[in-house]
Amino acid sequence: MLKNCFTDRFLALGWILICLSANQVHGQTLSARNPQADIYDKPVYDTAGPNGCETPIQRYRKSFCQGAEVRGGYLFDLGDAQGGMNQAFEEVRADFGIPLGSMDNLIGLRPYFRADQLQRIQTTDLPSVLYNTGLNILHQKKWSSRFSSTVVLTPSIRSDFTTSKNAFRLFGLGLMNWKCRDDLTVSAGVVYFDRADFNLLPAFGFVWTPTPEWKIDATMPRPRVFKRLWKRGAEAEGWCYCGGSIGGNTWAVTRDSGDIDELTIRDFRFMTGYEVIETGNRGHFVEAGFAFGRSIEYERSGVDLDLDAGFYLDAGIKF
């Protein structure tokens, strides 16, 4: 088993509570940077429309295919603990949407493929590439003018593609949302990470839109603060943001000895970024941040290594 399992869960929950109380986000309850899709976010408005009203950005397309996204990034180790470990990744996604009778009852489908490269580390037999591929399934339903639900399931394969044992993983998120005011929605539920370091945690928070230029989403799994910088009618808008997240994952791998094990890489992140949102689920983003509390853990062999903090840069385009 992993070392200090209870401590890891406590620290992770503490980090979530800090993020929930201190950060804000553009989006509804889920982040576009995670496998969870936000292609059905409610419109954000400006003051350029007729009669002093704002013109909405249509966040979805009127078709089954909602577009595709390409992302990539690099994390630079800022020290030399364990020889240092840089990380790079590439990811491709496709989005599909199915209204179940109306836009108040939606299913979103997102197949994806991601590859993570591990570089420089010298003290353990880490694989050079780790893979994560699966299908994100999002269901959002509006039950009344005040209550709605969000359910996310992501069956996936996470491994180095040398073994299938314990490679299947299932991420899950369930939220009930209460719109207590026109500008404030409160959510509560649970999130299941299916990771070796922590699995089931409470998910709760709120979404607050005090003005069209600011939006706060202090809900798991990636709370952020967004400030709108500009808007071009119903065509596009630009946002800057800052926030926090839990990084890393668990993969099934084969050690150099031939033994099958489970590798967990973990970090906690503060980030800032700039995103352009265009009509029809298009746009692009660039994000930079600081990763701390980095660690590498093997489940069966008991290897537990701490790494130095790192600086990372991510970017992506949706088309």
Is 271 strand, coil or helix?
strand
pLDDT (tens, 9 = 90+) of the chain, 319 residues, equals 444 443 444 444 444 333 333 333 232 222 334 333 332 333 333 333 444 467 888 888 889 999 999 999 999 999 989 889 999 999 999 999 998 888 789 899 999 999 999 998 777 789 999 999 999 999 999 999 999 999 999 999 999 999 999 999 999 999 999 999 999 999 999 999 999 988 888 888 898 999 999 999 887 667 899 999 999 999 999 999 999 998 999 999 999 889 999 999 999 999 999 999 999 999 999 999 999 999 999 998 888 999 999 999 999 999 9
Tokens 């929930």 sit on residue: 20
Cβ density class 248-280: b for 16+ within 10 Å, e for less: bbbbbbbbeeeebbbbbbbbbbebebebbbbbb
Distances from the Cα of 132 to the Cαs of 119, 155, 168, 276, in angstroms?
18, 10, 10, 27
Q: Where are the domains of the chain?
A: 5-318
Give the whole-angstrom CA distance, residue 85 versus residue 289. Answer: 16
Distances from the Cα of 175 to the Cαs of 97, 110, 185, 283, in angstroms?
20, 19, 12, 27
**289: Cβ contacts below 8 Å, ≥ 6 apart:** 269, 270, 271, 272, 273, 311, 312
Tokens 């998120």 sit on residue: 173
Diameter of the chain measured on Cα atoms:
71
